[in-house]
Structure 1
Amino acid sequence: MTDQHEAAAATVAETFTVLDIEVPAPRGYPGQDSSRHARRLLGRAENADRPGEDILRLLLGARGYGIERLPEPRSAVPGERRRWCSVYEHAFLLADDSELCLYELEHDLTPDRRLVCEVYRDEVAAGRAARRHAHALAAAG
């Protein structure tokens, strides 16, 4: 799961205005020790379809990373406010100056309410997984 130090760094990107046009601020990669962060993120992922060794190899050479909690509210089980899920974007600045993003889904949409971490290659897949877990839990309940 995203630890307290990482969560403090998870912010929503700000914008600035140029000629009356809102432009997103350049992304920062303040995280140090990207290879450690990548290992921890992928190591705690419980989903079978999590990114594999090929992605980890790419991330081991990353020069920085940033974490952003995505602002879109994720629906949990209808009528159960105690359950929740959240998606974090982990953006890594690779050695060739390209960016690779992974999406961490944290949720307690399990029968025992255990906090679970899943990691996906794209935001859409993370959102689909959140809905799938919520529907399965609602059907079982």
Structure 2
Amino acid sequence: MEPTIYLFFNGNCLEAMTHYAETLGGEITGVFKNGDAPVAEDRMPGGDDLVMNMAMKLGNAMIMASDAPGQWYSKPQGFSVSIAPASIAEFDRIFSALSSDAQSISMAPGETFWAERFTTFTDRFGTPWMLNYTGSKAV
């Protein structure tokens, strides 16, 4: 059994997940929009273009997501999506792409006692991220 990350967005799920797939080398495996529901009563409020369910394969992991319209949406807290880039160059590329127009950068990229480079930030879509390149400090 493996956990699946499930993210909720405030109306920009398709844009966010497409950006993540392009940045991280993921593969979008399915997108089901509100308008795809065959029965109108099964649709969530907010319009046909909202994403009801979307899936992206990233390595051996699956990241799923949907829009959470209006009062259904709450700001993510208490977790981060953690990525371990394979090199400092890859770390810098991913950080640049995901932190562009970031809502906040809580810890700028830098060396720690456990990693050659580490950072935490919340991207423009509201997703909290943690990037960790251990490099020579790998256990």
Same fold (TM over 0.5): no
Greater strand proportion: 2
TM-score (norm 1): 0.29
